[in-house]
Amino acid sequence: MRLNLVEAGDGPPVILLHGLFGAAQNWGAVQRHLAARYRVLALDLRNHGASGRAAAMDYPTMAADVAETMRAMGAEPAAVIGHSMGGKVAMALALAEPGLVSRLVVVDIAPIAYPPALRPYVAAMQDIPLQAGLTRRDADAALAATIPEPNIRAFLVQNLRMQDDPPRWRLGLEEIGAAMPVIEGFPDFPGRYDGPALVVNGERSGYIKPESHTSFQALFPACRFATVPGVGHWVHAENPAGFLALIDPFLD
């Protein structure tokens, strides 16, 4: 599947891959900064944003989407930066087609299986009655019983197309919900990626634990680890300056 994207800047290509429930626009500040020196393509992964909908959401398939899009845009090889689910897609791409990835940045996710903590989010979003007159405040209130964190609710609700009547989701929620067991996991790959790799975690996030480092090192033997202080899982959104202070020298 060729993916929808937002492009900015000129220079060596950089690919940005968002996380679950995200979209290309989530990289706005990071993309604007990098576009001063690079050709930066932020992609909508399948079942997200303006990209197509499909039942399959395994990581080899999503990596193949990225590879197809990169080739169509003449943007290969590229530095590939992926957050959360997008980080798993980035790792899958580097392992499946290492020649496409000049450098790899994985943000706050490990190549391991995670517990089903986000499945209630999908169910809560599906339960919102998409009817005429629905407001963002109504949608936020409908999510509050399941998702107590206001910042997470705001992140999810931004996927509602309020200009439509009634509003509709920019997400393929049915496809995402069915694919959650696959999204939570990570498949076995026969090879490894020997290129430069940087693993960035948020200091207050629990997504990358010290015991996960051996999983990274087995697949990405040249990887280095870095931490952005004072932030949780949404590293690049919570502290763009701290994130870019690590990314800039690595890309250089």
161 pLDDT more than 90 = yes
Catalytic residue among 84, 97, 102, 236: 84
Element (H, E) at 87: helix 85-96
User: Is residue 64 domain-shared with residue 138, that is, in the same domain?
Assistant: no
Residues 10 and 84 in one domain: yes
Based on the fold, state whether residues 74 and 26 are members of the same structural domain.
yes
pLDDT given for residue 44 in this prediction:
98
> Per residue in 40-97, pLDDT tens?
999 999 999 999 999 999 999 999 999 999 999 999 999 999 999 999 999 999 999 9
Q: pLDDT tens across 183-208, in order?
A: 999 999 998 999 999 999 999 999 99
Active site residue 149: no
- Of 153, 178, 203, the position where a domain reaches its end is 178
- Return the CATH number at 61: 3.40.50.1820
pLDDT-based confidence at residue 165 (cuts at 50, 70, 90) = confident
Residues 169 and 195 in one domain: no
The structural domain count of the chain equals 2
Same structural domain for residues 162 and 233? Answer: no
129 shares its domain with 194: no
Catalytic residue from among 174, 212, 213, 238: 174
Which segments of the chain are extended strands (E)?
5-8, 13-17, 39-43, 78-83, 101-107, 160-161, 168-169, 197-202, 223-228
- What would the pLDDT profile of 18-37 be if each residue is shown by its tens digit? 999 999 999 999 999 999 99
Average pLDDT over the chain, rounded to an integer? 96
Residues 9 and 94 in one domain: yes
Q: Is 174 marked active-site?
A: yes
Residues 110 and 123 in one domain: no
Does residue 15 sit in the same domain as residue 43? yes
Q: Which of 18, 33, 233, 236 is catalytic?
A: 233
The H or E element spanning position 124 is helix 119-126
Range of the domain at 163: 119-178
